Chain A
Amino acid sequence: MKLFVKKQASSFSTKIILLTLFLGVQSFTLGQSSQIKIESSFEPAAITLSNSTIYKVVIEGSQNPPKGSIPKVPGLNISNNPQTFRKVSLVNGVTSIKLELSFSARASRQGSFKIPSWQLTIDGKSHSVPAANLEVLAPSQQDLLRKQQKQKADEDLKQAAFIEFSMPREYLFQGETMVSEISLFLWDRMPFTRIENAPIKVGDSFSLTALGQPKEKRNIIKFNKSYSSYSWTVGITAAISGKHVLSFHSNVRIRTNNQKNSAFNSPFFNDPFFGFGREESIKVSSQVREIEIRPLPTSGRPPSFSGAIGTFNTSSSIDSEKVSLGDPIRLTFSISGNGNFSAMPAPTLTKNTDFKFGPPAFFFSGNEQTKFTGTQRFEYIITPLKPGLLKLPSPNFAFFDPIKEEYITLSNLEHTIRVDPGDKWNEPVQRFEEQAEGVQSEAAQSTLFQTESEPGPWRKDFLRASISHSFLFWVVQTIPFSALCLFIFLGFKKRTHGIESLKQKESRMLKELKKCHGFNDAKGFFRTYRALIQFKIGYYSDHPNPFSLSSEELIQILRESNESPELIAMINSLLQKFDDFEFARNEESTPNLREEYKKALSILKRIK
């Protein structure tokens, strides 16, 4: 039985091998010799505008690669990379071989499209491909919805991550450098994991300085959303004149959900942070801006212009104004301001026979990232070739000011240096005893007796005219002198005014006395008379308040001032009489005012 089964199995495998060999030989021979038939069609033959279709070419009778090109139909885009499918079949004992070429096709407008008949070359023989028709219909409601969703998704993506870059002006001059800030904004609620690459420039007409580490900012509000931004400050240099586009793009990685057909399709596993969500790279782009690059004007271009564009100031200095012949001088030429420092060559020096010039050294201090703002120093080593007062040539520097749109040539003051001929070599004289003493004095002498190259201010005389001989000095003295005179005048006026008021007061009281005498008013007479006595005595004794003096005090003052006893007695009796009249109220005994008046006047005259 086993033997039988073995025999059957071996005969079956033998049959299979023989059949395969037969079919192979048949197909080879048929492929080489059978009639080739070609068909073409669109599948499907009718689509909506938003869908694509397949343009299929089926070649029966050959599987050899064909050669040919599909004719172009306006509004119809057919891909160049077809999918190839080879097929061998046996129908009713007849072997059939096919080659299918599938081209993806998409229409850009609706309507009917026809690919006309075209030629294919197979094994060196030309065959005709029949024409094929495609009907493109208006987009359906579903297509429109899908398109809207896609646009919304794109817009959402644009708002979730985008790039902005600033340009101070909408145009640049050819060769001009401008500082720009490129900012990548990432929405805080999007699960960004990392930035794959810094923004990449798109636009061959511009060159860009290296992007360093970005500046990170958080919680920036834009479109009512909170963003994190990463900014790079760069220098953009315009290279080719004309209107050119410039944009930037970058790639960021984001965590997304798993695909729906994933084996782990559950809310837990799909969580992008804790589950098995996957990372995906998305492209972030900026707006494409068209920037005009203007060529530099040729009119008025100075010969010393070597490509510097910006706003600059220059200065130059030398490290020594006095040198010996052969000693080098360092001439430092500094250019400060804003401009294309990275593209700035060293200014040239006008060659002359007085000096030998070395190549300049470059030193830049400022913003190394953009090389736009700072100071560029060029150091020239210059060696004088002859002694005397020599003028160093000033570096020739001209630049184009993009704001004023004109060329500016800056000229610096020429430096004058004095070149000493230098000491001649003398054989040393062996004077040992002098050498010891001379070391100190020679050292001191080396710093002394240096010749001044400028004469300084000239004067006719060694001694200046004394200030006491100066007219201006005495004119100035009149100012305080006038002030002093004014003080003295005002002081005397004030004092005289006081004296005058005293005299007026005395006169008024005398008038009052006379009036009382005229009206026979004894009380008023004595009161006025007492006040007069108090006023005169008090005034001459410099009493601050003469009217407060009592009779005793008045008599005491008169005694102290060595007045005559007779006068004192007269005043005393008068004061006594007044006191009696005033305080004893003896109205019956009316004094003789005529006599009293005469006596009072004589007494008042004697008080001095």
Chain B
Amino acid sequence: MKKLILFFMSFLLLGIQQEVCSKVEDRIFYDAVRAEASGDLENAIILYEKVAKGTHSANLHGNLANLYFKLEKFGQAIINYRQALLLDPSNREIRENLSFALEVANVPKNQRVFSNYLNSESIDFWFIIMAVIFWTGSLTFSYFYFAGCNRQKFFIPVSIWLLLLFFTTWAIYTSSGSQSMLKREMIAIEPKANDQNHSKLIQLRRFAGSGSSANAHVKPGESLWVYLKNDLSVRSHRSQDGLEWFLVHTSKDRKKGWIRSDEVKKIIP
């Protein structure tokens, strides 16, 4: 009995804590909106980022992205738009904002972002479809089989059923692949290395070190995917100056190289 009471008490406390936390987040969010309304964009960003450290919402990242865009920090703007879209994939306003930001930042649009049916979010949908098809077919065919129907009549329906199962399995596999790609995806933020030409491009170096020459350049806001090792861990290297480097490539492996960890940001931290 005591254990039961303790369980319920802890459950209650957890609920209260969550409620209090969400109120705190709301308050900071409103403070940020007020700061933005009064023209204090820097303070608004600080407040939004403070909330985003612990919890997320589509409107939070959308507002943050808008502020970064106004300050012409396109890399930060694009990653926040992407994060907002993950939280609310049907938000048309954020989608249009992202499209416009990509256009302004002169970054090629990644078609995966705009794919609706086989992206990382649709994996659950395909799971449910497959379960429905599988069980419907199994139950129907088992019923007719034991009812003594002619087995030759089963050929075409069973073939269609198997095809549908194959298709849904493929969709799940593709969506799962999109999800794993998303987990590997990073957005180039802004160059941190000292560049005498004051270029806004970010270098992808041949070796994981500041002294290495650039193999290729990417623009802030461009998507990069980190290579994985055989054990599926990220291919990274820590240089002597303490900097962490990631081996990344762009879409379809057109560009690849080492990039500083502070010049990129993962979409899913």
User: Across the interface, do B142 and A491 meet the contact criterion of CB distance under 8 Å?
Assistant: yes
Q: Given that A451-B66, A480-B135, A484-B142 are contacting pairs, would A459 and B268 also be in contact in the complex, using a CB cutoff of 8 Å? A: no
What string of 1s and 0s marks CB contacts (under 8 Å) between A431-472 and chain B?
000000000010011001111111111111111101110000
Q: Given that A458-B25, A462-B56 are contacting pairs, would A387 and B143 also be in contact in the complex, using a CB cutoff of 8 Å? A: no
Partner of A491, one of B60, B86, B146: B146
Q: Which of B5-13, B35-43, B228-236 contacts A (4 or more CB under 8 A)?
A: B35-43
**Least CB distance, B131 to chain A, in whole angstroms:** 6
A464 CB contacts on chain B under 8 angstroms:
124
A445 CB contacts on chain B under 8 angstroms:
100
Partner of A460, one of B26, B33, B55, B88: B55
**Least CB distance, B113 to chain A, in whole angstroms:** 14
User: Across the interface, do B97 and A448 meet the contact criterion of CB distance under 8 Å?
Assistant: yes
A57 sits at the interface (CB 8 A): no
User: Across the interface, do A389 and B86 meet the contact criterion of CB distance under 8 Å?
Assistant: no
What string of 1s and 0s marks CB contacts (under 8 Å) between B21-47 and chain A?
010011001100110111100000000
**Least CB distance, A384 to chain B, in whole angstroms:** 11
A439 to B70 alpha-carbon distance, docked (Å): 17
**Least CB distance, A468 to chain B, in whole angstroms:** 6
User: Across the interface, do B57 and A388 meet the contact criterion of CB distance under 8 Å?
Assistant: no
A468 to B176 alpha-carbon distance, docked (Å): 12
A448 CB contacts on chain B under 8 angstroms:
93, 96-97, 100
Partner of B69, one of A449, A456, A495: A449
**Least CB distance, A421 to chain B, in whole angstroms:** 6
B62 CB contacts on chain A under 8 angstroms:
452
Interface residues of A in 469-491 (CB under 8 A from B): 473, 477, 480-481, 483-484, 487-488, 490-491
A453 CB contacts on chain B under 8 angstroms:
30, 33
Partner of B93, one of A450, A460, A468, A487: A450
B34 CB contacts on chain A under 8 angstroms:
388-389
Residue ID in chain A nearest B60 by CB atoms: A455
A420 sits at the interface (CB 8 A): yes
Partner of B87, one of A420, A462, A492: A462
Residue ID in chain A nearest B65 by CB atoms: A449
B30 CB contacts on chain A under 8 angstroms:
389, 453
Residue ID in chain B nearest A492 by CB atoms: B146
Residue ID in chain B nearest A454 by CB atoms: B59
A481 to B120 alpha-carbon distance, docked (Å): 28
A389 to B38 alpha-carbon distance, docked (Å): 10
User: Across the interface, do B33 and A389 meet the contact criterion of CB distance under 8 Å?
Assistant: yes
A329 sits at the interface (CB 8 A): no
User: Across the interface, do B145 and A491 meet the contact criterion of CB distance under 8 Å?
Assistant: yes
Q: Given that A441-B104, A458-B57 are contacting pairs, would A389 and B37 also be in contact in the complex, using a CB cutoff of 8 Å? A: yes
Residue ID in chain A nearest B135 by CB atoms: A480
B76 sits at the interface (CB 8 A): no
A473 to B37 alpha-carbon distance, docked (Å): 45
What string of 1s and 0s marks CB contacts (under 8 Å) between B74-97 and chain A?
000000000100111000010011
B102 sits at the interface (CB 8 A): no
**Which of A421, A451, A458 neighbours the largest number of chain B CB atoms within 10 Å of its CB?**
A458
User: Across the interface, do A487 and B142 meet the contact criterion of CB distance under 8 Å?
Assistant: yes
A198 sits at the interface (CB 8 A): no
User: Across the interface, do B60 and A463 meet the contact criterion of CB distance under 8 Å?
Assistant: no
A467 to B124 alpha-carbon distance, docked (Å): 6
User: Across the interface, do B268 and A473 meet the contact criterion of CB distance under 8 Å?
Assistant: no
A491 CB contacts on chain B under 8 angstroms:
142, 145-146
User: Across the interface, do A466 and B70 meet the contact criterion of CB distance under 8 Å?
Assistant: no
Q: Given that A462-B83, A467-B128 are contacting pairs, would A418 and B37 also be in contact in the complex, using a CB cutoff of 8 Å? A: yes
What string of 1s and 0s marks CB contacts (under 8 Å) between A487-512 and chain B?
11011101100000000000000000
**Least CB distance, A102 to chain B, in whole angstroms:** 96
A490 CB contacts on chain B under 8 angstroms:
146
User: Across the interface, do B142 and A459 meet the contact criterion of CB distance under 8 Å?
Assistant: no
A484 CB contacts on chain B under 8 angstroms:
135, 138-139, 142
**Least CB distance, A464 to chain B, in whole angstroms:** 7
B167 CB contacts on chain A under 8 angstroms:
none
B131 CB contacts on chain A under 8 angstroms:
473, 477
**Least CB distance, A415 to chain B, in whole angstroms:** 16
B127 CB contacts on chain A under 8 angstroms:
466-468, 473
A488 to B139 alpha-carbon distance, docked (Å): 9
A335 sits at the interface (CB 8 A): no
A418 to B38 alpha-carbon distance, docked (Å): 11
Residue ID in chain A nearest B100 by CB atoms: A448
**Least CB distance, B132 to chain A, in whole angstroms:** 9
A419 sits at the interface (CB 8 A): yes
A464 to B131 alpha-carbon distance, docked (Å): 19
A486 to B102 alpha-carbon distance, docked (Å): 56
**Least CB distance, A467 to chain B, in whole angstroms:** 4
User: Across the interface, do B145 and A449 meet the contact criterion of CB distance under 8 Å?
Assistant: no
**Least CB distance, B121 to chain A, in whole angstroms:** 8
A495 CB contacts on chain B under 8 angstroms:
146
Residue ID in chain B nearest A474 by CB atoms: B131
User: Across the interface, do B124 and A480 meet the contact criterion of CB distance under 8 Å?
Assistant: no
B269 CB contacts on chain A under 8 angstroms:
462
User: Across the interface, do B38 and A462 meet the contact criterion of CB distance under 8 Å?
Assistant: no
Residue ID in chain B nearest A416 by CB atoms: B30
User: Across the interface, do B146 and A494 meet the contact criterion of CB distance under 8 Å?
Assistant: yes
Residue ID in chain A nearest B62 by CB atoms: A452
A487 CB contacts on chain B under 8 angstroms:
139, 142-143, 146
User: Across the interface, do B56 and A388 meet the contact criterion of CB distance under 8 Å?
Assistant: no
B179 sits at the interface (CB 8 A): yes
User: Across the interface, do B56 and A421 meet the contact criterion of CB distance under 8 Å?
Assistant: no
User: Across the interface, do B142 and A420 meet the contact criterion of CB distance under 8 Å?
Assistant: no
B66 CB contacts on chain A under 8 angstroms:
449-451
User: Across the interface, do B97 and A458 meet the contact criterion of CB distance under 8 Å?
Assistant: no
Residue ID in chain A nearest B85 by CB atoms: A462
Q: Given that A463-B120, A491-B145 are contacting pairs, would A455 and B93 also be in contact in the complex, using a CB cutoff of 8 Å? A: no
User: Across the interface, do A458 and B104 meet the contact criterion of CB distance under 8 Å?
Assistant: no
**Least CB distance, A400 to chain B, in whole angstroms:** 39
User: Across the interface, do A421 and B63 meet the contact criterion of CB distance under 8 Å?
Assistant: no
Partner of B146, one of A450, A451, A488: A488
Interface residues of A in 358-390 (CB under 8 A from B): 387-389
A200 to B261 alpha-carbon distance, docked (Å): 93
A596 to B269 alpha-carbon distance, docked (Å): 90
A387 to B34 alpha-carbon distance, docked (Å): 9
What string of 1s and 0s marks CB contacts (under 8 Å) between A412-429 and chain B?
000000111100000000
A459 CB contacts on chain B under 8 angstroms:
55-57, 87
**Least CB distance, A3 to chain B, in whole angstroms:** 130
What string of 1s and 0s marks CB contacts (under 8 Å) between B177-189 and chain A?
0010010000000
**Which of A451, A460, A473 neighbours the largest number of chain B CB atoms within 10 Å of its CB?**
A451
Residue ID in chain B nearest A465 by CB atoms: B124
**Which of B37, B120, B142 neighbours the largest number of chain A CB atoms within 10 Å of its CB?**
B37
Residue ID in chain A nearest B136 by CB atoms: A480
A457 CB contacts on chain B under 8 angstroms:
57
A495 to B120 alpha-carbon distance, docked (Å): 47
B218 sits at the interface (CB 8 A): no
A419 to B87 alpha-carbon distance, docked (Å): 27
**Least CB distance, B25 to chain A, in whole angstroms:** 6
**Which of A448, A468, A484 neighbours the largest number of chain B CB atoms within 10 Å of its CB?**
A448
A284 to B32 alpha-carbon distance, docked (Å): 76
- Told that A441-B104, A462-B269 touch, could you supply 4 new A-B pairs with CB distance under 8 A? A455-B59, A463-B182, A463-B268, A466-B123
Top 3 A-B pairs, shortest CB-CB distance:
A491-B146, A480-B135, A452-B59
List residues of B whose CB falls within 8 A of some A CB: 22, 25-26, 29-30, 33-34, 36-39, 55-60, 62-63, 66, 69-70, 83, 86-88, 93, 96-97, 100, 104, 120, 123-124, 127-128, 131, 135, 138-139, 142-143, 145-146, 179, 182, 267-269
Could you list some 5 contacts between A and B, CB below 8 A? A449-B97, A452-B59, A455-B29, A463-B120, A484-B139
